[in-house]
Amino acid sequence: MILDLVKISQLCSEMEDSGKLDLSVVPLIDRVIRFAGQKERDVKKLTGSPDDSFVKYHAWRTISDIAASLEFRFENASKANDNPQVALDTLGVLPKLQGLAALVLSIENHKTDLKTRMIILDQVSQVRDCARQCNCLVGSKNENASVSRSFARDLARFVGRVETRLP
Amino acid sequence: MTSKVFVETSVLINASVYAVVKGSGLSKSIQMQALYFEKSNSLIAILRKRNAEKIGVTSETVVREARNAIRNAVQDEANERGEAVFRSLSIILNQCEERLERNIQALHVLGANRNDVNTRYFAVRKMYDDLFRKCQTYDPQRIKKDAIRVAESTASPPYRALAVGIQRKQMHQEHGQLRSLLNKKPSPNDMMFVAEASIIASQHRPRLSNMFLASTDVQLSPVTESGRIVSCEITDEIFRRFGVRCDWPDRILIQL
């Protein structure tokens, strides 16, 4: 996973220098997506406390979403005249993405405490901000298309929950 | 002369907890929002529009507390309901956090001198201690006695029982904000917000005409009924001692 991200970074630097699109980056990104997707499913099966699993799930889902956006952009770069901007944007988001991946991998066999969970959530938020600025984030449109029918109930419960969490 | 509005956590959260989703798995779009979303969001929208005037301010304490409140709520929910709701919670967390960050950008995060704020914090805490002692004297027995005394001097004997009932209800309402201290003491952060707003106000005087503190917490903002103030003893005392006018976001909006 980390190695794939490093290779993607090297290829993007070369694309930036040459100004030419290199689609050999796509299978590497695809591997990142599949790896993160598998981790998403794995953490759901963890027997520990759900808040611990959720934070790890949220981090892996973010990695997988951003990687999916990168893949989409590379695949459509020729048509959309997105080269070399796509390589530059990818280079902008990769260091943070790599940092987040390294962090969640380092704690995957450990039960996290509240402080660590807050650090992870903070990092996720920073990665998403960075990805948004670099146009490397799946829009809410795609996210919305996959919500289940029970989402309304989940949302209503969350709104109530935040109100009880207000200081 | 200018005004400033210190936005505290409750307003920032209420303006951020909003999600609208329209997806293929749903027959119609879903929209959910926090209880005071409209009131809070309309204030933040104006502060965003007038960003150059630097009217909307907040502090690092508020920003940190707001982020934590949303993240803690998601974790609580995950803990209670398990992996079946992970995907929904992840989407909700993203939407609320994005909105929260946009709202924070509409404000100027100011850092007041920590020593000054800490000194002022103790003055705010002393005020709440004084108010707590005062509220203990407003127990139901005392209110009943006062109501009887007022009714005896204002109502003729046949109507006294009725007058006592009306007086009691009125007094309960009138002291409602103060009496809320009996059930819940303000958090240290609430007191810190008053201290921070007060220090920021003193840094900008004499050019500053009004320092508002926008809050949906009735231990800061007055108790209202259909927009009319029914109880404001704590709010008045904060203004008297620290020059900070606590109020609801929609009420502040019309004063800007």
The predicted complex's ipTM stands at 0.88
C-alpha triplet B48, B50, B54: angle, nearest 5°: 95
**If DSSP codes are grouped into helix, strand and coil, which group holds residue B176?**
helix
- Most confidently modeled range among A148-157, B15-24, B115-124: B115-124
pLDDT of residue B169: 80
CB B14 within 8 A of CB B216: yes
Of B24-38, B74-88, B90-104, B202-216, the least confident: B24-38
Pairwise pLDDT comparison (A28 vs B138), residue with the higher score: A28
CA atoms within 13 A on the CB side of A114: 9
Q: What does the block give as tokens for A66?
A: 């951003």
- What pLDDT sits at residue A152? 67
pLDDT of residue A35: 95
Nearest neighbour of A158 by CB, restricted to B68, B86, B92: B92
pLDDT at B156 over 60: yes
pLDDT at A67: 95
Report the run of H or E that residue B185 belongs to, with start and end.
Answer: none
Instruction: Measure A74 CA to nearest chain B CA, in Å.
Output: 24
Flag residues of chain A having pLDDT under 50. Answer: 141
Q: What is the pLDDT of residue B145?
A: 81
Which candidate, B231, B239, B217, B244, places its Cα nearest to that of B39?
B217
Does the distance separating the beta carbons of B24 and A145 come in below 8 Å? yes
Confidence of residue B43 (pLDDT cuts 50, 70, 90): very high
Contact between chains at B88 and A161 (C-beta distance less than 8 A): no
Q: What percent of chain B has pLDDT over 90?
A: 47
Instruction: Report how far apart the first and last C-alpha atoms of chain B are (Å, whole number).
Output: 12
CA distance A77 to B60: 41
Q: Is the pLDDT of residue B166 over 70?
A: yes
Residue B17 DSSP label: -
Read off the pLDDT of residues B60-109 as tens digits, 9 standing for 90 and up: 989 999 999 899 989 998 988 888 889 888 988 998 899 999 999 999 99
What band does B41 get if pLDDT is binned at 50, 70 and 90? Answer: very high
Q: How many Å is the Cα radius of gyration of chain A? A: 17
If we measure between CA atoms, which residue out of B176, B145, B150 comes closest to residue B163? B150
Could you tell me which residues of chain A have a Cβ less than 8 Å from any Cβ in chain B?
A: 44-45, 49-51, 53-55, 57-58, 61, 117-118, 121-122, 125, 128-129, 132, 140, 143-152, 154-159, 161-167
Q: Do A162 and B73 touch (CB under 8 A)?
A: yes
Candidates A147, A153, A164: best to mutate against B (most CBs of B within 10 A) is A147
Binary contact (A159, B30; C-beta < 8 A): no
Please indicate whether, in this complex, the C-beta atoms of B69 and A167 are within 8 angstroms of each other. Answer: yes
Question: DSSP secondary-structure letter at B207?
Answer: T
Query: How far apart, in whole angstroms, are the C-alpha atoms of residue B14 and residue A166?
Result: 9
Q: Which of A44, A53, A159 faces B17 most closely, judged by CB atoms? A: A159
